[in-house]
Structure 1
Amino acid sequence: MDIIDVHTHFVPSGWPELGEGLPWLRLDSEREAMIMVGSQPFRRIGRECWSAEDRLADMDADGVQIQVVSPTPVFFSYDLPGSEAAKISRIFNDLALEICSPAPERLLPFAQVPLQDPDAACRELSRCQEMGHRGVEIGNHVGDRDLDDAGVVTFLQHAADIGMPVFVHPWDMPDSPRLQRWMARWLTGMPAETHLSVISMILGGTFDRVPDSLRICFAHGGGSFAFWLGRFENAWHRRPDIIATSQQPPSAYVGRFSVDSVVFDPAALRLLIDTVGIEQVMVGSDYPYPLGERPVADVVRRSTFLDSAERELVMGANARRFLGLDNNVQNSHAVDIGDNETGIGRGDQAVLSF
């Protein structure tokens, strides 16, 4: 059974210098590098982050036919002025096309946008669609602005209008001494941030303001949403003076969004499917990072409660619908970025910052 993996990340092997204090790449060997933010190490990565050859070999080993290739959130640059973030988005979006170009039918690039500037974000998304990107990854918040912010809603409306699916990924989690042990920011902060982003779209009225045609997926199984929907629903009914800002109760919006399957345990996957519906769950792995799932879709394979038809939906059919692969929702374009705005053309060597 072919698998479509909707949650993976890339990092180019180099990029033009972005500026002081911004991410750069320290190449330690032909196969390893360190993402640096200013003078601080951020994450060690391997060649599979930028090599289509390595990605395809791992995909073949795991039975993955198609992989969505999304940015690594550290590059979102939402804290910069919109014009600077737009430039960074163009750089990484064009490099994403380079990385995916050896296998355009199997490696589907998702763009990033300067979400702090809705007009610039809409322009960049339209440009990326024309260049061959198949969707967009956004962070779950921009500073203190959640996904019900008017500017974010404008962007989501534009994504729906042009038929580009949206993948929401948590980033910039809260930090404190209590969260610096045991990778607690990733173990508790990421699920909480994702849950909060779903809540903001429901209670903030985003789903009431965007069309049903918006295809949006939340990473990491939607965080803790599935486990706490009952508490969420209870609060909406019992404290309407505070909670009931949406037109309908929270359960009414189930079905308006998808989630990936990166929950690792069959019992968790069963709760997720029971809560959001079998047609709203798609395989995701968080490849190639250490907290991801390998082999891809292992939890789906181990979930004996799924019958063959249900497993087929989660493995690939739901993702085909989300990505528009069966009805040509996405425009098809040849990848040619020789005249792109970043000045990096095919075959050119990106300038590394050390």
Structure 2
Amino acid sequence: MIDAHTHYVPSDWPDLNEAVCPAPDWPWLKPVSERDAMIMVGSSEFRKIGAECWSPDIRRADMAESGVTTQVVSPTPVFFEYARSPREAAKVSRIFNDIAREMFADAGDEFLTFCQVPLQDTDLACEELDRSLANGHVGVEIGNHVGDRDLDDEGVLTFLQHCAAVGAPVFVHPWDMPSSPRLARWMGRWLAGMPAETHLSLLSLVLSGAFDRLPESLRIAFAHGGGSFAFWLGRVENAWHRSPHVSRDCDKPPSSYLGRFYVDSVVFDQRALRLLVDTVGADRVLVGSDYPYPLGETPVGQVLADADWLDDSGRALIRSGNAERFLGLT
């Protein structure tokens, strides 16, 4: 079983005030105990993490319990730094990409690392992707937007075209969700904001006609089951046919683009997984866990294991076949 959605955090990294430039809100790691730490952003606590974030040995033990043979290990989005200057973000990307390769250099095929790039600058993003691929990374994780620029932005499209040209799979993760008093309650930014962010970015690729401009060779996947896209595809389709206010910059109805992207299986519920498979197809769903964070699936693949309505072929595709194709292993 290939887990296509996991994250890492190093146990240490250079002081970004010295390595990049002085600033009051760089991320840094505050030790709590031998096995726990707190990610800080300036003076604010961001997230408490454990040693499984940086220890390949702990990850291996957890993988064995779930029957996972390979993890795709991606950055934690708080390190993207898209709001910084391009040169600053490029330095941060280089630091974390190099650390990730050092962390998992001796792991073989157990851990496949995805890099991060300064997506706010197309040339620097392409440059860092190429450097990282040469250094052992197998793909790239990007945030679903850069400020008000969504995935149909010209610069982002150029980067995605470059990913297709060099054969790099792209994993899109929601991040930088809107905040408000209403979303501050009950983890609303994560429980409502994240699914909405992914849905919006998929809409941007479909309705803008971006998928029509991107080569079909692009391998792109969206976290958390593609957000709320599968549930609301019917509404989007109806609006495309009937509403004069919906963009028709795409050549075909929205449902025609379902074969252009993958989604992971982090939906937790049989009804949600079945809707996902019925909508995008069993050949477009990847096992994903969001390991090692609390909102992830434990044990990994449980929602798939419980899917007695899936035939053996569909189960095999989701367990590993689709990930092998997405990652370019076959």
TM-score range, shorter chain: over 0.9
Percent identical among aligned pairs is 65
Q: Check conservation: 1:281, 1:314, Cα contact below 8 A.
A: yes
* 1:310 counterpart SS class: helix
Deviation track 1:38-86 (CA, whole Å, cap 9, x = no partner) reads: 0000000000000111111111111000000000000000000000000
Please state how far the C-alpha of 1:242 moved relative to its aligned partner. 3.3
1:36 to 30, 40, 45: 40
User: Residue 144 of structure 2 aligns to which amino acid in structure 1?
Assistant: N
Q: Check conservation: 1:52, 1:102, Cα contact below 8 A.
A: no
Structure number with the higher helix fraction is: 2
Q: Where does residue 4 of structure 1 map in the other structure?
A: 2
Measured on the aligned residues, the alpha-carbon RMSD in Å equals 0.8
Q: Check conservation: 2:209, 2:250, Cα contact below 8 A.
A: yes
Q: Check conservation: 2:28, 2:40, Cα contact below 8 A.
A: yes
2:320 to 316, 319, 327: 316
User: Residue 181 of structure 1 aligns to which amino acid in structure 2?
Assistant: R
Q: Where does residue 104 of structure 1 map in the other structure?
A: 108
- Which structure is higher in RCO with an 8 Å CA cutoff and minimum separation 6? 1
Q: Provide the rounded CA distance (Å) in 1 between the counterparts of 2:241 and 2:6.
A: 38
Q: Mind listing any 5+ residue stretches in structure 1 that lack a counterpart?
A: 327-354
User: Residue 49 of structure 1 aligns to which amino acid in structure 2?
Assistant: C
User: Residue 202 of structure 1 aligns to which amino acid in structure 2?
Assistant: V
Please state how far the C-alpha of 1:241 moved relative to its aligned partner. 5.0
Please state how far the C-alpha of 1:240 moved relative to its aligned partner. 4.3
Cα distance 1:182–1:241, how it changes in 2: closer, same or farther (>3 A)? closer
* 1:212 counterpart SS class: coil
Q: Check conservation: 2:11, 2:29, Cα contact below 8 A.
A: yes
Q: Provide the rounded CA distance (Å) in 2 between the counterparts of 1:251 and 1:240.
A: 18
User: Residue 6 of structure 1 aligns to which amino acid in structure 2?
Assistant: A
Q: Provide the rounded CA distance (Å) in 2 between the counterparts of 1:278 and 1:134.
A: 24
Determine whether 1:289 maps to 2:275. no
Deviation track 1:276-296 (CA, whole Å, cap 9, x = no partner) reads: 011000100000000000100
User: Residue 317 of structure 2 aligns to which amino acid in structure 1?
Assistant: L
Q: Provide the rounded CA distance (Å) in 2 between the counterparts of 1:278 and 1:264.
A: 16
Q: Where does residue 280 of structure 1 map in the other structure?
A: 284
Aligned residues: 324
Deviation track 1:138-157 (CA, whole Å, cap 9, x = no partner) reads: 00000000000000000000
1:117 to 91, 96, 121: 121
Q: Provide the rounded CA distance (Å) in 1 between the counterparts of 2:225 and 2:104.
A: 26
Q: Where does residue 82 of structure 1 map in the other structure?
A: 86
Structure-2-length-normalised TM-score: 0.97
* 2:225 counterpart SS class: helix
4+ residue stretches of structure 1 with deviation over 4 A?
none
Q: Where does residue 214 of structure 1 map in the other structure?
A: 218
Q: Where does residue 234 of structure 1 map in the other structure?
A: 238
Q: Where does residue 20 of structure 2 map in the other structure?
A: none
Structure-1-length-normalised TM-score: 0.90
Please state how far the C-alpha of 1:27 moved relative to its aligned partner. 1.2
Q: Provide the rounded CA distance (Å) in 1 between the counterparts of 2:73 and 2:33.
A: 23
2:307 to 278, 303, 310: 303
Q: Check conservation: 1:220, 1:263, Cα contact below 8 A.
A: yes
